[in-house]
Structure 1
Amino acid sequence: MLIREAIKLFIEDREFKNLSPFTIKTYRITLNIFCDYCVSKGIVEIDNLSPQTTKSFLMYCKNELHNLPTSINQKLRTLKAFIKFLAEEEYLEDDKPIKKIKKIKELVQIEVLTDEQINMILKHLKKFNYHVNSFVTFRNRKMFIFLLSTGVRRGEVVNIKWSDVDFENQIIRIYGKKRRVSSIPFTLKLKRELLEYRVFLEEFLKEDPVYLFPSGKNTQLTDEAVSSFFKTLKKEMNFEGVRLSAHTIRHTFAHRCLVGGMDVMTLKSLLNHENISVTEKYVALWGTALKEQNDRFNPLNNIDI
């Protein structure tokens, strides 16, 4: 079977399993790059795939495409899913081409925004509210505030509908990774922001908005639109030492929660992490930032030794 035909079967299988459009898009992009690489090496049949093919492809991503370790590991996960699918469906005898290949070590460095940077962003976005792009800027300002207050992912924020927002109990339904549904609380301060924002949307759209952060045509916002907002913001703010993205805001949320004294299990629930080991990475990184909380709550404080 041709590699390109196998990729088509794999994508159809993932669509049948109702994976998110973003996940399927990521699979398609990575596998098309892999297929083009294989063809350039004279490999067009899946039977000719080998561990060396996979390793050389990942080295190509590192040396020629200049992918960072995180991107390389993401590509490896995609290839593992693809090869295992072929083995399970008996298009291949086994998953030998990928079985023993391990992910590479990543330099764990999580960037967060300072109070000064956050205030600069909010002031910058507010300044443009009355220009011709007032809808987009006002919506993006509210979205920035929402992300900062909830820590939700980029792929989650675009899926939230107004029907998912329970103002009475101050709870929002979130559709997370692997289609897991959870509910997270929101503060009274954010409630006021959202109520003001809702009035603005109704006046601008001349109809009831469906999505929490819609396009100007009252349709669902795309992941790319959110990324584009942050790319533009990055150029306009020109901050040093920190990149601007929805995930940076998520890290900032986690950082503030931990430094403020929140326990790990509560943070895990708020961030909708499937495994607590992911949440614990934050604790490992910001252990020094937690010193103040440890000094404040340490059991020895009230014990005479």
Structure 2
Amino acid sequence: MLLKFAFQDFLDDRRFKNTTKTNIRNYQTLLGEFISYCIDNEVVNVEDINYSHIKQYLWVCQEKGNQAGTINTKLMRIRAFLNYMVECEVIKNNPAHKVKRQKEDVRIDVFTDEQIRQMLSFYRRIKQREKSYFAYRDYMMIVLILGTGIRRGEIINLTWDDIDFVNHNISVFGKTRRKETIPITSKLSKELSGYNTFCKQHWGNLSKYVFVKRDNTQMTQNAIMLVFSHLQKKMNFKDVRVSAHTFRHTFCHRLAMSGMSAFAIQKLMRHQNITVTMRYVAMWGNELREQNDKYNPLNYLDV
């Protein structure tokens, strides 16, 4: 079967299975690179792909500067595509299963208190000086993520009807594509209420979406990425990337450092698998420090 047709068939199958638009785009980009690589190297049929082609392609990606995490993501996309080809009986075995994942360095960036203060102060100054909706919007997005750990896609789709100001919670459609309830503090509820009042005064006709673009319509993935890209340039932090996900990691970091249980963190972060939560707790939790302070052998030695 010709690769270009197999690739399109695979994408159509993902759409039929109601895969998210974000994942479809990821397949088009990441898997599409591999398909182009194969065709450029005269591998035009699915049946002709072997272990060496996959390994060589990933090696080329590594030479271009791709980190282990990116390499592993590309490998996962290739495996998914070839698994589908096995299901369709185009090939008997998936050669990508023989390719091992690379070991990844476990390093998760989070913001310091000072960095958070700098970013919030930056937007406060603009908001007070210019009465800018966009400064208020971007400020409120940061406060919301820091207070809930909400994901970028959930921010885009958040509506005013999703916010319960009385019971202090918000409803989102998470990665599991189920409606989930997130508790919010009374402080965050007041911040959102004040932002709601400002939006009504600014727009007159309030959009159903909490965060909107210049034309008062729903934000896009690209629009929100531009917000954080702009903030990155303004802050010029050397050791951390300014992104929605870094704010989410910071939320999780503070929960772990506070001594909150892994179970509670899992519920607030809405991780499907607690092993993901445990990775954060093992990295940041204060229990290990407390146990070390209590039982370290040096405590009982005269040194």
Q: TM-score, normalised by structure 1?
A: 0.90
> Given the alignment of the two structures, is residue 265 of structure 1 paired with residue 268 of structure 2, yes or no?
no
2:154 to 156, 159, 163: 156
- Per the TM alignment, residue 36 of structure 1 is displaced from its structure 2 partner at its CA by 1.4
Report what 1:40 is aligned to.
40
Q: Deviations over 1:39-69 (max 9, x none)?
A: 22111111111111111111111112x1111
Q: 1:118 to 1:20 in 2, by over 3 A?
A: same
Following superposition, the deviation at residue 292 of structure 1 comes to 6.6
- How far did residue 193 of structure 1 move? 0.8
Summarize the Cα distance change of 1:252–1:158 in structure 2 as closer, same or farther, 3 Å threshold: same
Aligned residues: 294
Residue 133 of structure 1 and its aligned partner are, at CA, apart by 8.8
Structure 1 pair 78/240, CA: closer, same or farther in 2 (3 Å)?
Answer: same
Match of 1:74 in 2: 73
Structure 1 unaligned regions, length at least 5: 299-305
Q: Distance in 2 between matches of 1:194 and 1:117?
A: 22
The match for 1:212 among 210, 213, 220 is 210
After superposition, the C-alpha distances for 1:174-215 in whole angstroms (9 at most, x for unaligned) are 212242332110110110111111122222222122222122
Q: What percentage of residue pairs aligned between the two structures are identical?
A: 37
Quote the offset at 1:20 in angstroms: 1.3
Give the distance between the partners of 2:158 and 2:79, measured in 1 at CA: 31
CA distance in 2, matches of 1:8, 1:205: 43
CA contact (8 A) 1:30 1:78 kept: yes
Partner of 2:85: 86
Write the distance in 2 (CA, Å) between the matches of 1:83 and 1:253: 37
Q: CA separation in 2, counterparts of 1:230 and 1:280? A: 28
Which sections of structure 2, spanning at least 5 residues, go unmatched? 295-303
Counterpart residue number, 2:299: none
Q: 2:164 matched to 1:166?
A: yes
SS in 2 for 1:174: strand
Match of 1:221 in 2: 219
Moved more, 213-222 or 228-237: 213-222
**Aligned residue runs from structure 1 range 42-191, under 5 A:** 42-64=42-64, 66-95=65-94, 97-129=95-127, 134-191=132-189
CA–CA distance in structure 2, aligned partners of residues 105 and 255 of structure 1: 23
CA distance in structure 2 between the partners assigned to 1:181 and 1:60 by the alignment: 41
CA–CA separation in structure 2 for the residues paired with 1:57 and 1:133: 51
User: C-alpha separation between the residues in 2 aligned to 1:235 and 1:9?
Assistant: 41
Q: In structure 2, how many angstroms separate the alpha carbons of the residues matched to 1:92 and 1:28?
A: 21
CA distance 1:295–1:183, change in 2 (3 Å) = farther
Displacement of 1:216 in angstroms is 2.4
User: Which whole-Å CA distance do the structure 2 matches of 1:133 and 1:58 have between them?
Assistant: 50
Kept in 2: contact 1:258–1:290 (CA 8 A): no
Aligned to 2:246: 248
Deviating more after overlay: 196-205 vs 25-34 = 196-205
Task: State the partner residue of 2:31.
Answer: 31
Q: For the residues of structure 1 that align with 2:99 and 2:226, how far apart are their CA atoms?
A: 34
Structure 1 moving runs of 4+ over 3 Å? 130-133, 289-296
